[in-house]
Amino acid sequence: MVNNTTQDIQDSNEELKEIINYCDRFREKLVEEKEDSQDHSLIEQINAWEDDSIKKIQQTAERCRELVVEYREVYFQNIEQRFSRLSERIVQTQKENKLDETNLNEFKRTLMALGKRLTNPIIISIQKHAQLFIHPISIISSKNRPLTNQKPLVQQDESTFEEYGNILTGENGKGEELNQLCHPGGIFVDKNKTIFIADWGNNRIVEWKYDAKQGHVIAGGNGQGNQMNQLYRPTNVIVDQQSQSLIIADSMNKRVIRWFNGQTQEILIENICCWGLAMDKNRFLYVTDTEKNEVRKWKLEKIIENKEGTLVAGGNGKGNQLNQFNHPTFIFVDDHRSVYVSDSKNHRVMKWTRDAGEGIIVAGGNDEGSDLNQLLHPRGLLVDQWGKIYVADWGNHRIVRWDKDAAKGEIIVGGNWKGHGLNQMNSPCGLAFDFEGNLYVAEWRNHRIVRFDKSVDKPFNGKRKKY
C-alpha cells in the first residue's frame, strides 16, 4: 500500500485543477471554432465558385437565347432563298420548254426536302459539351479522401444528315469559269458560310460566298507555274484569321505558301510534297508529306528559325506498320494535339497522340474494300468534340462516321453507287462543317461542293453493295 504525504496530495490536487481549467478553456475554444466555421476560408472559396458559376451560366444562357433567335431567322431565310431559286428554275425551264423526267424528279425532290425542313424544323437542340466551362469541385480531407464525388454527364452527339444534298458550287460542270470548278480538293468554311476551295485542276483558290452564283479567285489563277503569283495543283487551304491570310498546300511546287489579300505572297516551307494542312490552337502548322510519308509541325511565327520543323508522325519510310504511312493525305488536329491522318494507300485513318512513337488505327485498316469496317483511299477528315471521326471514303463514294473505339463505321451520306445525283457522290475529297453542324463535301470527279444539312432522320446503317 502506497502512503501519500500531505504535500503529495496537495500537488496532485493542484495538477487536477490545472487539467480542469484546461478542459474549460478547450470547451470554450471548441464552441468558438464551431460558431466561426461558417466564416472559414473554404466556405468563402465555395461561395466565390458559386457566384462565378452562376454568372457564367447566366451569360451562356443569354448568348444561347440570342443564337436561337438568330438561327431561326437564318433558317427560314435559307428556306425562302432556296424556294425562290427553285421557283426561278421552274419558270426558266418552262420558258425554254426543256421539261423532261430528270427535271421534274429533281423539282419534286427539292420541294419535298423544303417541305420537310419547313414542317419539321427540329434542327435546333441543346447540346451538352464534353469540355465543361464550369468545373465541378469536391472536398478532399487531409488524408486525400474525397468527401464528395461528382461525375459530370456527357451527352453524346447523334447527328444525322439529309440524304439529298444541296449543290452550292459547280452546277455548271467541269471548267475554268468563275461558276465552275475542276477537281476541288480541300475546303474551309468560315463563320459566314463562305467556302474557300482548293481548285486543284484550275491552279487557284476560289472564295465562294454564301448563296453566290459564282466564285472569286483570291489566290493563283494565273496559269500553272512556280512564280509567286502562281500555283501548281493546290491540294488544301486553311484561313488564318489572326493574320487574315490564306495558307496553301501548293503540292506540285513542293511548297507551303501564304497569301495576304491576294496581293502579297510568302513561302513558308519549301521542298515538301505537301498535301494536308491543319493548325492547332497554339498556332502550330501541321503538314503531311506524301513523299517522306510523315507529318511535321512548325510554330507559325518561328518557321524562319526552324525550317526543318518537328516530326510528329511517321518518318519511318513507306509501309503499313503502326509507325509508318503510305501516302498520307488529309489531317486533323484536336485540342489535345493528337494528329489524325488519312493514310490513303493503307486504306486507314491513324491517330497519333502527342509525342507518341507510333499511331493507332481508328478507322479502316482491314484491307481495301467497301464493307463497313473498310475504307478505300480515304481523303478528307474531321473529328467532332465527342471524338467521332468523319472520313471522305474516296473510292467508295461515301462519307463514313466512326465512333471512338468502334470496329466499323456507319454511312452518313452517299454510298448509293457512284454518280452525280443529289444522294450520290463521285470521289469525295475535302470535308468541312459550318457553325450549324451542316456537312460540306468537295467531290473531286463531280467538280462540285455539296452541303448536307443536319437532320433528325436515322442514317442508313447497313452494308452497301460493292462497286
Residue 367 sits in a domain whose CATH number is 2.120.10.30
**DSSP secondary structure letter of residue 159:** -
Total of domains in the chain:
4
Q: Are residues 433 and 401 in the same domain?
A: yes
pLDDT: which is higher, 401 or 94: 401
Q: Are residues 95 and 237 in the same domain?
A: no
Q: Are residues 132 and 109 in the same domain?
A: no
Spatial separation of the C-alpha atoms in residues 340 and 359, rounded to whole Å: 9
Is 462 a domain residue?
no
Span 153-164, pLDDT tens digits: 333 356 789 989
- pLDDT for 113 equals 77
Sort strands 216-220 and 234-240 into parallel, antiparallel or unpaired.
Answer: unpaired
> Above 50 in pLDDT, residue 466?
no
Is 208 a domain residue?
yes
Q: Are residues 313 and 429 in the same domain?
A: yes
Once rounded to an integer, what is the mean pLDDT over residues 118-123? 62
Span 251-310, pLDDT tens digits: 999 999 999 986 799 999 999 999 999 999 999 999 999 999 999 999 998 898 888 999
pLDDT: which is higher, 30 or 134: 30
- pLDDT for 24 equals 80
Q: Are residues 447 and 387 in the same domain?
A: yes
Copy the grid coordinates of residue 313. Answer: 508522325
Confidence of residue 58 (pLDDT cuts 50, 70, 90): confident
Cross-strand pairs, 160: 455
The residue type found at 355 is D
Cross-strand pairs, 279: 285
Span 28-53, pLDDT tens digits: 777 766 665 545 667 777 887 788 77
Confidence of residue 340 (pLDDT cuts 50, 70, 90): very high
Q: Are residues 115 and 132 in the same domain?
A: no
Is 461 a domain residue?
no
Span 292-306, pLDDT tens digits: 999 999 999 889 888
Check if the beta carbon of residue 281 is closer than 8 Å to that of residue 335: yes
Is 40 a domain residue?
no
Which three-class secondary structure string do you get for 232-266? CCEEEEEEECCCCEEEEEEHHHCEEEEEECCCEEE
Q: Are residues 4 and 110 in the same domain?
A: no
Is 225 a domain residue?
yes
Span 412-463, pLDDT tens digits: 999 998 998 999 999 999 999 998 899 999 999 999 999 999 875 444 443 3
Is 465 a domain residue?
no
Give the domain range for residue 92.
45-119
Spatial separation of the C-alpha atoms in residues 461 and 353, rounded to whole Å: 29
Q: Are residues 330 and 379 in the same domain?
A: yes
Is 222 a domain residue?
yes
Average pLDDT, the chain: 84
Q: Are residues 277 and 136 in the same domain?
A: no
Q: Are residues 147 and 177 in the same domain?
A: no
